[in-house]
Structure formats: C-alpha cells, structure tokens
Amino acid sequence: MRFSGLVENEILKIARQRRFRVVMLILVVLIGLIVFAQVRGRERFLRKEWRVETQERMAQMQNMLRDGRMPPSWQRWTRFELGRLQYHLDRGIDPNAISGPLFVRGFANAASYLLLPLLAIVFASDIVSAEFAQGTIKLLLTRPVGRAWVLASKLAAVTLAITITALFGAFVAYLFGGIAYGYQGWGAPILTGFRFAGERFDPSSVRSVALWEDTILVFGLAWFSMLCVGAIALLTSVLLRSTAAAMGTMLAALIAGTILPRLAPSWESQKFLFVTNLPLPDYYSGSPPPISGLTVPFGVEVLAVWAAAALAIAFAVFLRRDVLA
C-alpha cells in the first residue's frame, strides 16, 4: 500500500461520478452567462468618455447621500465608493475598465461569496457520506489500511478537486472574458488596498500592482476560502453520514453567512464565524467589509482555525466510531 495509491482511488471516485462533470458544466454555463449579461449591460451604459461617466456617477451618489434616506450600511458603502472613484480619477485610471484578465479577477471576487465555496461543498460533503450510503465503507475500513490514512487520502483528493475547480474557473473566465473583452492586459496597473478606517475612506495603504500579480493573489485567497469550506464540509460529511444532510447543512450556513451581516450589522461577534470571512478576495481588493474589523490577515486566521478544528474533530470521530450502517 502506498499513500499515492489511496489518493488515486479517491480521485478516481470523484472523477467518475457525475457531480464532477456537473460542477465543471456549472462553471462554463454560469461564466458564459455572466459575460453575456455584462456585455449587453455595458452596451447600454458606457457610451461616454470614462472620466465624464465616472463624474456623473459620483454626482449621483453624492445626491443620494445628501438625501439621507439611505440605510446606514449603504451610506458606508457609498462613501467608500466615492473615495475609491475619486482616487481613480486623480490617478487617471479608469475604474470601470474591462479586459479579459480584469474579468478573471472580478470573477474571483464575486464568486468567493457563494459560488466557489458552494462548489467546494459539492465535493467535500459527500466524500465520506457517499461511502456510507453505498455501503462501501464496510470494505474501505476492513482493508489493511488504517482509518487515518483513508481519511487523509480523502482530504488530499478533495483538496485536489477544489484546486482543479478553482483553476478551471479561472481558465473559463479568461476564455470567455477574452472573447468579449480581449485577452490582453495582464500587465496593466491596478489599484488595490483601499480601506475603511473607522468610518472614513482611507487611501493611505493603496498600492498599484500589475494585474497578473493581483489576480494570482485574489485567486489564492479564493482558493484558501474554498479549502477551509471544504474542511468544514468534510466534517459534516463524517458526522452526518448522509450527503443530503451534509450538503444541506453547509448550504444553510453559507446562505446565512451572506445575509447575516445585512440583517444584523451591529452584531460584532459574527466576524468570528467562518462564513463571514469567506469573501477574502473582496476584503483584500478593498470593498468595505460588512462589519468593521474584517481584514485579510484576520480572515485567514479565523478560517485557518475553523478548518484545523474541523479536521481535528473529523479525524477523531472517523477513527473511533463504530461502522454499523
């Protein structure tokens, strides 16, 4: 027995099941749809010179702010956006520029909230429970291989599947984004690191980096989020022994995580929940976090702690529990 053989087994099982192809298809269809919708939207919007367009938008926002009927969380976002747009105007960089490479980065930002974690869940939440459902767990755990190795090989396979999903997403986004906006522009400068200090827009840490550098970082963060979600989904799969229950639980957690900051923005402790910290790419690129105190280093720490705890419990339970189903 070699560990690589065990991992090969788990990858074979993931790859031969329909869900793998479905996930890849979802990425193709969804990204295709987004590109199509965006192209149609821009045709109607952006006819003017970008400076004029940006100034008009800022004027609109200022009017809305003065009106004062905005909910507080919107006000924060609007003030932040005004600062960001002004900064771009000052530097002469079009904030709404679009190119294939920029689309890739934008996709990673947007998909890190729900889509990419969701796809991670699809793989991880069934990796153990499926063996129970098929009855194959009885064979898997009566071979001369320790249970820890079996679970470790499953973890490795999930990690690989998640990595492939992220890479494939990037590839499809570049492919389709390129068709619509051209494949050039990886070297273009990008402004990143906008922050909200207290209740004020803070440009002090804004940096200009090459787009390719920025994209790698953004995808890396999205990938890290996916891995942590995967670890937690693996735990639900071990605990619940039912794919439907595990997937349902993770889905509920994800969706709750996206609405909670909007429903209860004043509840500070939610920043310790893993779901609140999933949009790491967004916190990095600098949209105002839904609650203050969320930064990339903080988010990485919280997610890492959650993932480590989830794996520790998953291994402890998997190693000890009787298989009776």
174 with 27: CB under 8 angstroms?
A: no
Smallest distance, another protein to C-beta of residue 237, A: 17
21 by DSSP, 3-state: which? helix
Smallest distance, another protein to C-beta of residue 164, A: 19
Q: Whose Cβ is closer to another protein: residue 3's or residue 74's?
A: 3
Among 44, 63, 66, 135, binds another protein (CB under 8 A): 135
196 by DSSP, 3-state: which? strand
242 with 132: CB under 8 angstroms?
A: yes
| Contact between 1 and another protein per CB under 8 A | yes
Smallest distance, another protein to C-beta of residue 18, A: 8
Neighbours of 115 (CB within 10 A): 18
Q: Whose Cβ is closer to another protein: residue 17's or residue 62's?
A: 17
Smallest distance, another protein to C-beta of residue 317, A: 14
Q: How far does Cα 168 stand from its chain's mean position?
A: 14
Taking Cα atoms as reference points, which of 284, 303, 306, 285 lies closest to residue 295?
284
| Contact between 89 and another protein per CB under 8 A | no
Name 22's Cβ contacts closer than 8 Å, sequence gap at least 6.
122
247: its two tokens: 């997937």
Taking Cα atoms as reference points, which of 103, 104, 59, 48 lies closest to residue 85?
59
Identify residues 226-255 at the interface with another protein (CB under 8 A).
none
Q: x/- site string to another protein, residues 285 to 324, per CB under 8 A?
A: -------------------------------------xxx
Among 12, 29, 59, 305, binds another protein (CB under 8 A): 12
Query: What does the radius of gyration of the chain's CA atoms come to, in whole angstroms?
Result: 22
- With contacts defined by CB under 8 A, how many residues of the chain interact with another protein? 25
Piece of 71-79, 133-141, 195-203, 265-273 that binds another protein (CB under 8 A) = 133-141
Smallest distance, another protein to C-beta of residue 250, A: 23
Which residue is associated with the tokens 């999933």? 278
Smallest distance, another protein to C-beta of residue 15, A: 10
| Contact between 134 and another protein per CB under 8 A | yes
Which residue is associated with the tokens 């009017």? 63
Name 238's Cβ contacts closer than 8 Å, sequence gap at least 6.
128, 129, 151, 314, 317, 318
| Contact between 143 and another protein per CB under 8 A | yes
| Contact between 13 and another protein per CB under 8 A | yes
Smallest distance, another protein to C-beta of residue 25, A: 18
| Contact between 68 and another protein per CB under 8 A | no
Q: Please give the Cα distance from 162 to 124 (Å, whole number).
A: 9
Piece of 29-37, 134-142, 196-204, 214-222 that binds another protein (CB under 8 A) = 134-142
- Show the 3-state SS of 77-136: HHHHHHHHHHHHHHHCCCCCCCCHHHHHHHHHHHHCCCHHHHHHHHHHCCCCHHHHHHCC
| Contact between 145 and another protein per CB under 8 A | yes
| Contact between 22 and another protein per CB under 8 A | no
Among 139, 210, 256, 305, binds another protein (CB under 8 A): 139
Binding site for another protein (CB under 8 A): 1-2, 5-6, 8-9, 12-13, 16-17, 134-136, 138-146, 322-324
